[in-house]
């Protein structure tokens, strides 16, 4: 499940096509013409690829995997800023593990 934090989202500084909109491989993200907000139009079709999470320049998008991880109730959340994506894995016992993935732009 993708969630957009509208307090953080800057609407890609008024760009007509938003980065999250452009990068979604399923064309699931649109823009509300009334307030210029990006909206996930077809959340049921999201396959949790994290492309929008990683491409948002201000880390406004988080993703909670819609399927079970390791055990019932566990969750994995991702937020991204620049080249860094931070992941939080929360187990059924409430314990959290955090890790980061940094994309090497030379690759």
Summarize as ranges the residues that interact with ligand SF4 (CB under 6 A).
Answer: 2, 4, 9-12, 18-20, 23-24, 26, 28-29, 38, 40, 46-52, 56, 58, 60-61, 63
**If you write DSSP's letter for every residue of the chain in order, what string do you get?**
-EEE-TTT--GGGG-SS-HHHHH-TT--EEEETTTTEEEES-GGG-----HHHHH-TT--EEEE-SS-BSBTT-EEEEEEETTEEEEEEE-TTS-EEEEEEE--TT-
CB of 15 to ligand SF4, least distance (A): 7
Q: Which is nearer to ligand SF4, 19 or 77 (CB)?
A: 19
CB of 103 to ligand SF4, least distance (A): 16
CB of 20 to ligand SF4, least distance (A): 3
Q: Which is nearer to ligand SF4, 47 or 67 (CB)?
A: 47
């Amino acid at each position: 499940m993708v969630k957009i934090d509208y307090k953080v989202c800057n609407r890609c500084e008024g760009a007509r096509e938003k980065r999250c909109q452009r990068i979604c491989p399923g064309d699931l993200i649109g823009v509300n013409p009334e307030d210029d907000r990006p909206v996930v139009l077809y959340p049921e079709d999201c396959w949790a690829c994290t492309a929008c999470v990683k491409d948002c320049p201000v880390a406004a998008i988080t993703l909670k995997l819609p399927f079970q991880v390791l055990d019932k109730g566990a969750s994995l959340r991702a937020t991204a800023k620049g080249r860094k994506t931070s992941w939080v894995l929360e187990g059924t016992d409430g314990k959290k593990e955090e890790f980061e993935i940094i994309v090497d732009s030379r690759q």
